Structure 1
Amino acid sequence: MTTETVSAPVSVPVSATGGPVASRAGQVSWALFDWANQPYFTLITTFIFAPYFAATYVGDPTLGQALWGQTLGVAGLVIAFVSPILGSIADQTGRRKPWLFACAVVFCLSAAALWFAVPGAGAVNPLPIMVAAGMAAIAMEFAVVFNNAMLPSLVSSTRMGTLSGFGWGIGYVGGLVALILMLFFMAASGETGLTMIGTAPWFGLDPALNEADRFAGPMAALWFALFVIPLFVFTPDAAATGVSPGRAVRQGLRKLKTTLGHLRRYRNVALYLVSRMLYFDGLSAIFAFGGIYAAGIFGWELMTLGLFGIILSVFAAAGAFIGGWLDDRIGSKPTILIAVAGLVVATVGSASIGPDTVFFVVPVAPPEVGAAPFSSVGEQIYLLFGILIGMAGGPAQAASRTLMARMAPPSMMTEFFGLYALSGKATAFLAPLAIAWATTAYASQRAGLIVIVAFLVIGFMLLLGVRERQEDAI
């Protein structure tokens, strides 16, 4: 008598949208998008070009901070209105890569144009560079919408937090590497003409013309163009639906109108989007204006700002990796709450630092001209609060993306990520414009920084009422 052995069925991993998970190469290539785009945020909007724009290109740190706020504010308005429409249309056509490619082309051209921000020219007519910076911001944010929407189709729901955190983590590492290259090989001293490691700057960049600061734009464009290639080669895209572009526009707009009209049905998601809208405005603003503030109050130039950026990037990468691990263990919402609380403390602390005071009222000696970086007490305390911003910023961003992926109906993923982008940008113009108004009204960079706290606190309070669960499609 023979017996038959019945093999147990093999469990095939299933993605959060119900299809097969992507290969390891596909997942890593998707995460490399963050590596590709982070130098834009690191070099242009945070540590190199934005402070240069305010202090040198415009020539007046207070006016420059106000103009930069206006630039990001107008870009935020465009993103707010268009990104949910693009997301809805992409859901109708199925594929996301063609849209992402178009955004990449516009971004690279706009970022490269920042090279023409010749020192002092902004005092005469800053508008062309403001337009280029605004177009780069718009194109990058649109690209992020399509990249984010691919996440649930790549891994299981239990691994989205890990992959999202991994993406943010290697993104910060990419920004760190770009900063190191800029600081050690391109940024030269105006006195010696040599870089920090004692060599002539690459490409013959002239410190007298601030060419290293201006090269932040072309460098971010080249970096993105190179490292986004694996995503197009290895990461699977959704299948095309066969819907024509014209029909997709009509259907997408109708579906978006329906989604917005039924937000009462998605009250939990709506509450999360409003919460995220506010705390993300604060998060984006502190990253965008922290370097400008330091350049204004301490007189930091490119090398010190670069060192500041390197230190923050190390801690931001560590925070993102830890946040991804924490996300999958305690949930996205608790991770975000912890991170936003840290941002509130760090932002208040940063705003409390002045040229000769700390914690608003405690007098300290101001930085000495020609002294080593971070040698004054004020600079050291500002650096500590900056490290806290880096540690909290990574988890806040990575877990926010994961929470949206966990809550959105699978069949409406890109459309909801369009709304997610809307929540990140619908009032994104308010924080920069509020900073611009406060800076101008009080003739104070500190006043501009303090308004960020309100966005973080209100967003934190609203998030307390959000329930972490997936919604059913209508």
Structure 2
Amino acid sequence: MFDFANQAYTLLIITVVFGDLFTRVIVGDGPDYRLGNLLWSIALAVSYFMVVAVGPVCGALTDYSRSRKRFLFASYLLTITATALLYFVEPGWITYAVILIIVSNFAYAIGENFIASFLPDLGPKKDLGWISGLGWSLGYIGGLVATAFTLLVLGEVSAENYDRIRWVGPFAAGFFLLAAIPTFVWLKERGRRRVRPAGQGYLSLGFSRLGHTLRNLAAFRDLSILLISIFFAMAGIYIIISFSFIYGSQVIGWEEHVRAIMFVTVQITAAIGALGFGFIQSRLGAKRTYAITLCLWIAAILAIWQTPALTALARHLFDVEWEAQYVFLFAGSLAGLSLGSSQSAGRALVGVLTPRGKAAEFFGFWGLAGKAAAIFGILGLGIIQTWAGLADAILFCIALFALALISLIPVNEARGNTMAEEWRDPHRD
């Protein structure tokens, strides 16, 4: 249900509506919007840097104090508050908009770490693939409901429609507020709270446990290597999440109804990908499933980049007068399948390689890898597009997914799972 709820934020604010609104209306430096794109990438990168800075320490602290749920609740409230305040942003209020995006996206992103850390408690490791896939698929259904309502009721992203479309912030906040309530009512905090050592604060305790994990991270060799692969994969994924609908507006030049169709297409295919690959993972294993999703991503990015060429090819082979914006829907379908499946498979594989008792801490490293990747990927694309333009800058993603695939090769899933099962916390009371 938390996956269901928080997709209202990531889709309405980061992917579909507010990102486009920020670049084209709030900053509005058309016709190429390169300054708006760069400022958007900087705002997101700063928020992810904040998660990188505090995520692992918070994970270590919450593992020890058994307070994951309280930390999750705090991030939830901060996300809702900052998102609702986006209503008050006016065109030209760039600094105010950037601050609210930094705060809201930081709270949302660190909340992802906390909710993911509950995954190992939800079932046996052999079932984590489909459990994670179920969560992701429910998330995309939640995003479909929230964004479909927004597109139908609030209308198009434009300066002329600003007085209506500005309600996207309060609506996303309200949806998140209500839909996440079941999580806080029924989700159980497993384990027991440990007694804090005399004379040691929780912050210093968090750093101490983080240091211990870093010193022993070499023992979790396969998890360490996996995090490198996840870094490159998430760099590409965060680019797509943050710029795909901006790409559609600026490069493809799609019409409003095609934008709505693309959104529905991506949500449905992402839900199918997350749930379908979750079941595939239980048969093929987490590593193989994750590798397949990376190959899907490379095909999807090639289709996005070559949309004009695919349009011309369709006209030549089938004698049809298709427009590029409709061919772009095919690329969107591939991206949707890749989006849901790769994130679900990667998260589940981390769960397989994570020992019990260190879930929040290790998922803090998962979050660190993902958010450090977001900084690298989003800033990289922002800089490249100021030089080459957004149309060709998307090629950067292909290199990132290829590196993720190469980095995955040394990971031994069976060895890593055995290490996680045999590990015992030396600090257990």
Normalising to structure 2: TM-score of the pair?
Answer: 0.90
Indicate conservation of the 8 Å contact 1:364/1:377, yes or no: no
Identify which of 44, 58, 66 aligns with 1:72.
44
Rounded to whole Å, the distance in 2 between the matches of 1:173 and 1:252 is 36
Q: Secondary structure at the match of 2:333?
A: helix
Do the aligned partners of 1:43 and 1:216 also contact (CA within 8 Å) in 2?
yes
Contact preservation (8 Å) 2:84, 2:169: yes
Q: Does 1:221 align with 2:173?
A: yes
In the aligned structure 2, how far is the partner of 1:188 from the partner of 1:465? 47
Spell out, residue by residue over 1:155-201, the C-alpha distance to the aligned partner (whole angstroms, 9 max, x if none): 222222121111100110111111221122332698xxxxxxxxxxx
User: Does the 8 Å contact 1:113/1:129 carry over to 2?
Assistant: no
Aligned letter for 2:333?
I
CA gap of 1:456–1:327, structure 2 versus 1, over 3 A, is: same
Specify the alignment match of 2:141 in structure 1: 173
The reply to whether residue 116 of structure 1 matches residue 70 of structure 2 is no
Q: Does 1:449 align with 2:394?
A: yes
Q: 1:133 aligns with which of 101, 126, 139?
A: 101
Gaps of 5+ in 2: none
**Hey, what's the Cα distance between the residues in 1 that align with 2:95 and 2:110?**
22
> Residues 232, 464 of structure 1: CA spacing in aligned structure 2 closer, same or farther, 3 A cutoff?
same
2:24 aligned to which of 42, 50, 55: 55
Contact 2:48–2:109, Cα closer than 8 Å, also in 1? no
Give the residue type in structure 2 aligned to 1:48.
V
Do structure 1's residue 358 and structure 2's residue 309 form an aligned pair? yes
Residue 15 (structure 2) aligns with: 46
Normalised TM-score (structure 1): 0.82
Partner of 1:86: 58
Q: Verify: 1:389 aligned to 2:335, yes or no.
A: yes
Structure 2 residue aligned with 1:21: none
Q: Give the Cα–Cα distance (whole angstroms) in 1 for the partners of residues 172 and 403 of structure 2.
A: 33
Q: In structure 2, what is the Cα distance between the partners aligned to 1:300 and 1:160?
A: 39
Offset of 1:215 from its aligned partner?
Answer: 2.1
Query: How many residues were matched structurally?
Result: 410
Which piece of structure 1 moves more, 99-108 or 181-190? 181-190
Structure 2 letter corresponding to 1:217? G
Which of 163, 172, 195 is matched with 1:211 structurally? 163
Q: What whole-Å deviation, never above 9, does each CA across 1:351-408 have from its counterpart, x for those lacking one?
A: 233xxx325997989xxxxxxxxx8531122110111000111111111111111101
State the distance in 2 between where 1:362 and 1:303 align: 24
Distance 1:325 1:214, change over 3 A: same
Contact 2:155/2:161 (CA < 8 Å) preserved in 1? no
Partner AA of 1:216 in structure 2: V
Query: Within the alignment, does 1:260 sit opposite 2:260 as a pair?
Result: no
Counterpart contact for 1:95–1:238, Cα < 8 Å: no
Q: Is the 8 A contact 1:317 1:394 kept in 2?
A: yes
Provide the secondary structure at the position in 1 that maps to 2:218. Answer: coil
What displacement does 1:313 show?
0.5
1:333 to 2:284 alignment: no
Q: 1:302 to 1:182 in 2, by over 3 A?
A: farther
Which letter does structure 2 place at the counterpart of 1:309?
F
Whole-angstrom CA distance in 2 between matches of 1:349 and 1:214 = 33
Question: In the alignment, which of 231, 236, 244 is matched to residue 188 of structure 2?
Answer: 236
What are structure 1's unaligned runs of at least 5 residues?
1-31, 191-206, 366-374
SS of match in other structure, 1:77: helix
Q: How many angstroms apart in 1 are the aligned matches of 2:24 and 2:209?
A: 46
Q: Is the 8 A contact 1:179 1:306 kept in 2?
A: no
Whether 1:460 and 2:429 are equivalent positions in the alignment is no
Task: Answer with 1 or 2: which has the greater Rg.
Answer: 1
Q: Among residues 266, 271, 283, which one is paired with 1:312 in the alignment?
A: 266
Contact kept, 8 Å, 1:293 with 1:446, in 2: the verdict is yes
Q: Which residue of 2 aligns with 1:197?
A: none
Q: Are 2:68 and 1:96 aligned?
A: yes
Where does residue 343 of structure 1 map in the other structure?
A: 297
Answer yes or no: is 1:439 the counterpart of 2:385.
yes
Q: 1:82 to 1:454 in 2, by over 3 A?
A: same
C-alpha distance in 2, partners of 1:68/1:230? 33
For residues 216 and 302 of structure 1, do their structure 2 counterparts lie closer, same or farther at Cα, with a shift above 3 Å needed?
A: farther
Query: What is the distance in 2 between the residues matched to 1:310 and 1:434?
Result: 29
Contact 1:279 1:459 in 2 (8 A): yes
2: distance between equivalents of 1:216 and 1:457?
36
Give the SS at the match of 2:298: helix
Counterpart in the other structure of 1:142: 110
Q: 1:380 aligns with which of 326, 332, 338?
A: 326
Determine the C-alpha separation between the residues in 2 that align with 1:170 and 1:378. Answer: 31
